[in-house]
Chain A
């Protein structure tokens, strides 16, 4: 192991803990201190009797000063107690465990698909004539700009209703994954393709590319063995952002395609102000960010040996 690597990871994990604390605090402040918590706990229906109100306030400690409530919340989170859903009468941890599988499937499929699409677009167009590049670059821009709920709806209309190739909604298994993953992957693929092509073309103007060609290599060899690796560097950098865009997109896509998952759970929890569920999902996303960024950090030196010396410092 490299010297200093352990320390480096420890520091990153510490800063990750700080991020999680910030996320928990923001959740507490924005949701807990505003509005009628008792109403949120009881859910819609007839207004609670004063009797019931008092009972809830006592049970949840809502008459304590907010600092005490905040401290209690942090203590619960620290012990791994994510709380009890107001609306579904289940432990939040169980809810998450049930819903995380489909979302992970969707996110991983969309991430792979976006990288695949980006690599394909890059290889097909890098170094081509101006017309091809302008056309593809325009398409990529479109992919970035189109809201993915719209893309999802159009894909549904086209490939489920007009041409029934894929199941419409709620279908389990790989076939049901295709359309939502596509809708989710498109914007990320657009951005990645633009960045990758730029980097690939830059790498191919560098002297080492001339060296490689002068050894008798063809364009395929140059890209497969040399320049695509250079183009992968910004993709690694952007993977944190890709995760963000996937997490945000999942909320909409899961609702459109009526898929089970964290996004749909989050949407319904937010609508009914189910604070423990919202907090848990926000914390989970924050943790995912921390982990992804740590992994990216550790991946960098593997791809770019020039960073190994620096990372060791």
Chain B
């Protein structure tokens, strides 16, 4: 049965000539999953909102046909839409931390669609009978342990995975025939991502239609029956998932497929700019004779006061040598960021020692550290938050430049911009006039300005679109080749770490479970958790 039939859907913001969604057509059958894939701004989410009549006030929506579960919704009134929302179509958004009302208990959020639609159908004015049981049943269905107690929790009290499960439960509550999931796993770690995809797969197996929206072709291709690739508001290619990934026809689809980190050409010569640098298996060999830039020995860290303690790091040891990248992978809460802060000398370890170039680093007072601070530089996940929005690019990069004199400084800033692939036009731009990728390039230029020996990269590409991710990873590898800088690369993405790292360390609950050369770890992980992690990122969803 055809659940959704969209024909020539066009959506325009008032006062704009160019439509944001331009002649999109697709169908979804019951029990089928269609994926909409494309980069941010491609019109995916707007297309999804059109199925809810929630495109906002200042939009004009037109379609030759827009049928949902047998209803022609093109002329629907707001009241008719309200009857449809939740009961026929359910929505799951990205990051339940902000997609669930932070002031309400998850049980109330899950019960909400049940109450709304019971009231609309004119059933009992009070609470319909058995709602509490239904909520518990839903929580159990989405795999939340101890549902009787958990329904009284607030979103911030749950882990990212449990929150997302609760959000899915709230979308399922009024038993809709179609689930629209807009980037449902983007904020999650690989293993949790896998679990959430499975859960959505269960909904599909139960006969619901599924519209899955993502910027990550790798994620959707594991669950989707068909994939539609969107670019600039239009669908450029549609086809069965497997066929589309193995033999993309449209050039844009091809760039998306190529950008899948596992599929990047391993041979540097095959890369577009032809520069040397590490690819899927890394070619640059660290100088074995170099003294380690960073030596971390037996570091432990505990947060909290007596009674409510949480151990963030247990006996962590690692070294980073010049010209080498050590990747640290782990889920959120595994201690990665604490490790980064200790390495930066921003947080004193409770046990153990950190040496920089073989000299004491963590044990000395800040006064003595300050003169050597330029040796370690940090690249954040979100450069927008790390820039003063009033600064120009020249100001931002200039902060780290050590040269004296106007001409020398300017020359150095221009050179740094050139190194990160930006021309002189960018000197006077401000952060909000740049794309995410360009901003991250500026952040890299600023980090390189004082000629550091070590770059600490904390999820530097997680906020970027896949094709931009690949460019930034290439850039980092090229810069390492050029300058010999060492990198401590923190990420939750296995495919990213595989592309960039010479060695990889897998972290969980504050422990380093496994450490070794990237190829060896990926080929034959020894620790059970590492095996589980790798399996989650590679296996297709059944």
Contacts and interface: CB of A to CB of B under 8 A. Distances in A.
Nearest to A226: B101
Query: Interface residues of A: mostly helix, strand, loop or mixed?
Result: helix
B82 A216 contact: yes
Interface in A207-260: 207-208, 210-218, 221, 225-226, 229-230
A237 to B, nearest CB: 15
B54 A217 contact: no
A303 interface: yes
A263 to B, nearest CB: 37
A7 interface: no
Contact of B86 (A216, A229, A303, A306): A216
A208 B101 contact: yes
B278 interface: no
Contacts of A225: 104, 112
A206 interface: yes
A226 B104 contact: yes
Interface in B448-478: none
Contacts of A217: 82, 85-86, 112, 116
B85 A210 contact: no
Interface string B100-133: 1111100001001100110010000000000000
A305 B156 contact: yes
A304 interface: yes
Interface in A175-230: 206-208, 210-218, 221, 225-226, 229-230
Interface stretch (B31-39, B91-99, B326-334): B91-99
Contacts of B154: 305-306
B167 interface: yes
B234 interface: no
A261 B319 CA distance: 75
Contact of A208 (B83, B99, B156, B174): B99
Contacts of B103: 226, 229-230, 303-306
A146 to B, nearest CB: 34
B85 A207 contact: no
A212 B104 CA distance: 12
A56 to B, nearest CB: 59
B93 A207 contact: yes
A306 B91 CA distance: 25
Nearest to B98: A207
A180 B83 CA distance: 47
Contact of B98 (A206, A212, A216, A306): A206
A216 B104 contact: no
A215 B113 contact: yes
Nearest to B57: A127
A224 to B, nearest CB: 12
Nearest to A203: B101
A214 B85 contact: yes
B447 interface: no
Contacts of B171: 214
B101 A306 contact: no
A225 B93 CA distance: 20
Nearest to A312: B308
A214 B81 CA distance: 9
A105 B87 CA distance: 49
Contacts of B120: 216
A212 B112 contact: yes
A210 B101 contact: no
Contacts of B54: 210, 213-214
Nearest to B173: A215
B170 interface: yes
B229 to A, nearest CB: 24
Contacts of B85: 213-217
B27 to A, nearest CB: 21
Given A216-B116, A229-B103, A305-B156, A210 B93 contact: yes
A214 B112 contact: no
B282 interface: no
A216 B117 contact: yes
B170 A216 contact: no
A207 B82 CA distance: 18
A213 B55 CA distance: 11
A212 B115 CA distance: 12
Interface string A13-28: 0000000000000000
B18 to A, nearest CB: 23
Interface in B147-199: 154, 156-157, 167, 170-171, 173-174
B227 interface: no
Nearest to A232: B103
B489 interface: no
A277 B94 CA distance: 61
B52 interface: yes
Interface in B59-83: 78, 82-83
B101 to A, nearest CB: 5
Contact of B52 (A214, A230, A305): A214
Nearest to B88: A216
A158 B94 CA distance: 56
Contacts of A206: 98
B167 A211 contact: yes
Contacts of B100: 208, 211
A201 to B, nearest CB: 13
A166 to B, nearest CB: 39
A214 B172 CA distance: 12
A211 B116 contact: no
A207 B94 contact: yes
A217 B101 CA distance: 14
A306 B102 contact: yes
A306 B116 contact: no
B233 interface: no
A266 B102 CA distance: 45
B322 interface: no
A216 B174 contact: yes
B483 to A, nearest CB: 41
A303 B82 CA distance: 28
Contacts of B95: 207
A309 B157 CA distance: 9
Given A207-B99, A211-B167, A216 B91 contact: no
Nearest to B156: A306
Contacts of A306: 102-103, 154, 156
A33 B5 CA distance: 86
Contacts of B91: 210-211, 214-215
A175 B460 CA distance: 66
B98 A215 contact: no
Interface in B9-26: none
A214 B174 CA distance: 11
B292 to A, nearest CB: 38
Given A215-B116, A226-B101, 12 more contacts: A207-B98, A214-B85, A215-B91, A215-B113, A215-B174, A216-B113, A216-B116, A225-B112, A230-B103, A305-B156, A306-B102, A306-B103
30 contacts: A206-B98, A207-B94, A208-B98, A210-B91, A211-B91, A211-B93, A211-B99, A211-B100, A211-B170, A212-B112, A213-B85, A214-B86, A214-B90, A214-B171, A216-B85, A216-B117, A217-B85, A217-B86, A217-B116, A218-B78, A221-B116, A225-B104, A225-B112, A226-B103, A230-B103, A304-B102, A305-B102, A305-B156, A306-B154, A306-B156
